[in-house]
Amino acid sequence: MAVRPAIEGGRPVRNRPLPYGHQRITDADVKAVASVLRGEWITQGPMVERFERSLARRCRAKYAVAMSSGTAALHAACAVAGLRSGTEGITTPITFSASANAIAYCGARPRFVDAAEDWPLLDSEALESVDGSGTLIVVPVDYGGHPAPLDEIRKIANARGWAVIEDAAHALGSTYKGKPVGTISDMTIFSFHPVKQITTGEGGAVVTNDGGYADALRSFRHHGIVKPERSEPWFYDIPRLGHNFRLTDFQCALGLRQLERLSARVARRRAIATRYAKAFRTLTALEPPTERPGCRSSYHIYPIRLRLRELKADRRQVFDALRAEGLGVQVHYIPAHLFGFYRSTYGYKEGDFPRAEAFYSREITLPLFDGMSDSDVEDVVEATTKVLAFYTR
Ligand SMILES: Cc1ncc(COP(=O)(O)O)c(C=O)c1O
């Protein structure tokens, strides 16, 4: 007989809720930040470059340009790729809205391509059939940490003259055909928000092998300022408008320390994902995430899909039941084209991207972060098994 979930009057698996993601800060991290705060430079100092060099090395890329957030990194990358009013950028609906917002910030039109059938990554066949005369860039998203089909996208982008700006906000530490994410696209952006693989509080970066892009990005994050080589000491020019998207030195000190342990963090995330997949094998109403050949995910999140036909409950009931067990489950993501701004500004509507909408209707994100204890992991297994076994037909 199935165990009664808390929402049906049973005892919850946890009394203290477990979030879906969480930062991990060590005493050594705190010490590194404090030491910068007590020093000479708390912003625009040497720690920024040290962090950038270390990140670039980790991604096997030539340059990294630190930014104040992943969103700022996306905005900057879109702007230096030439996106402006009268042009378009393509992205995918299953993403955090920042991927599409960044295109809109530049005055360009965000255009969506539907998700693939197996996983909500930009579908390269659908991309191929886009008549993108005004398109300048494509922004594939490595959803959940799983790399998008980067070779296929590269081929299409090359043929059309588009730049590829990979939104790898979820994917630091992931690999694609043996290569680290960050070395493949024209520009790759990362986010260092606390739920990501490493954190700087808020923060992000653009990684690229193109020196021209790197210079333009550094200028864009600093008001658009450039300093001509032979000029008076005080002189600078602003040939094109930029922003203040700088990341502070004490945040970079945190990032640098966090980066040192990236491999161990990713290994822990992958071990938890493996444990979940094994435990959920017998649950017919749950489809765990899988990896396409050649792809290794760093598991920013653990998104499951419900097989709703196998259940007596809908997604909302399962979501509420998991919350009642003490799991801080979430849903990733509401398809971006369905937000009010996208409907009213660009005319998008329900039904425009059916595979993305179908994915959204049955997705739930379970807790996964590298600071989870083994007992936290077993709580997720127990609560998920209990809820889904109870509601399975
Ligand atoms: C796919 C994606 N892109 C971009 C961002 C923006 O990153 P940030 O929160 O650092 O601005 C996020 C944030 O979670 C994201 O999930």
- Domain ends where: 193, 226, 260? 260
CATH number, domain with residue 372: 3.90.1150.10
Between the two ends of the chain, the Cα-to-Cα distance in Å is 13
If asked whether residues 251 and 350 sit together in one domain, one would say no
199 lines ligand 1 (CB under 6 A): no
In a domain? residue 37: yes
Beta-bridge partner residues of 295? 176
If asked whether residues 60 and 196 sit together in one domain, one would say yes
Q: How many residues does the chain have?
A: 393
If asked whether residues 147 and 288 sit together in one domain, one would say no
If asked whether residues 282 and 251 sit together in one domain, one would say no
- Domain ends where: 225, 260, 295? 260
If asked whether residues 252 and 273 sit together in one domain, one would say no
370 lines ligand 1 (CB under 6 A): no
Give the pLDDT of residue 262: 98
Q: State whether residue 91 is helix, strand or coil.
A: strand
* Segment (H or E) for 306: strand 302-306
58 lines ligand 1 (CB under 6 A): no
71 lines ligand 1 (CB under 6 A): yes
If asked whether residues 322 and 229 sit together in one domain, one would say no
Q: How far is CA 234 from the centre of its chain?
A: 39
Instruction: Return the axis-axis angle of helices 27-37 and 249-260, rounded to nearest 10°.
Output: 150
If asked whether residues 61 and 42 sit together in one domain, one would say yes
Domain span at 298: 262-391
* Segment (H or E) for 207: strand 204-208
245 lines ligand 1 (CB under 6 A): no
- Residues 204/72, Cβ–Cβ less than 8 Å: yes
Show Cβ contacts of residue 311 under 8 Å, excluding neighbours closer than 6 positions: 285, 318, 388, 391, 392, 393
Give the pLDDT of residue 1: 64
If asked whether residues 178 and 314 sit together in one domain, one would say no
In a domain? residue 183: yes
In a domain? residue 229: yes
* Cα 368–Cα 369–Cα 372 angle in degrees, nearest 5: 95
In a domain? residue 17: no
Q: How far is CA 29 from the centre of its chain?
A: 23
If asked whether residues 237 and 310 sit together in one domain, one would say no
CA pseudo-torsion sign 231, 236, 238, 243: positive
In a domain? residue 16: no
Give the pLDDT of residue 268: 98
Q: Regarding beta strands 302-306 and 363-366, do their DSSP bridges make them parallel or antiparallel, or are they unpaired?
A: antiparallel
Q: State whether residue 227 is helix, strand or coil.
A: coil
If asked whether residues 196 and 138 sit together in one domain, one would say yes
Total tally of structural domains belonging to the chain: 2
In a domain? residue 2: no
Retrieve residue 9's tokens: 């009057």
If asked whether residues 172 and 300 sit together in one domain, one would say no
CA pseudo-torsion sign 197, 199, 204, 205: negative
Residues 10, 243: Cα–Cα separation, whole Å = 53
In a domain? residue 100: yes
Beta strand extents in 148-300 (DSSP E only): 163-167, 175-176, 179-180, 187-191, 204-208, 286-287, 295-296
Residues 134, 282: Cα–Cα separation, whole Å = 48
Which of 23, 71, 190 maximizes ligand 1 atoms within 8 Å of its Cβ, making it the mutation to test the pocket?
71
Residues 392, 301: Cα–Cα separation, whole Å = 24
Q: How far is the CA of 146 from the centre of ligand 1 (A)?
A: 15
Atom 8 of ligand 1, residue of closest alpha carbon: 70
Q: How far is the CA of 190 from the centre of ligand 1 (A)?
A: 8
pTM, 2 dp: 0.98
CATH number, domain with residue 117: 3.40.640.10
Residues 162, 355: Cα–Cα separation, whole Å = 25
Atom 14 of ligand 1, residue of closest alpha carbon: 96
In a domain? residue 323: yes
- Domain ends where: 260, 279, 309? 260
The CA–CA distances, whole Å, from 151 to 77, 126, 145, 176 equal 20, 15, 17, 9
Task: Give burial (CB, 10 Å; 0-12/13-18/19+) of 349.
Answer: exposed
Query: How do the pLDDT tens digits run along the chain, 393 residues long?
Result: 689 999 999 999 999 999 999 999 999 999 999 999 999 999 999 999 999 999 999 999 999 999 999 999 999 999 999 999 999 999 999 999 999 999 999 999 999 999 999 999 999 999 999 987 899 999 999 999 999 999 999 999 999 999 999 999 999 999 999 999 999 999 999 999 999 999 999 999 999 999 999 999 999 999 999 999 888 999 999 999 999 999 999 999 999 999 999 999 999 999 999 999 999 999 999 999 999 999 999 999 999 999 999 999 999 999 999 999 999 999 999 999 999 999 999 999 999 999 999 999 999 999 999 999 999 999 999 999 999 999 999
**Backbone angles phi and psi of 73, in degrees to 5:** -60, -45
Give the pLDDT of residue 170: 98
Residues 295, 324: Cα–Cα separation, whole Å = 34
If asked whether residues 76 and 214 sit together in one domain, one would say yes
Retrieve residue 347's tokens: 């005319």
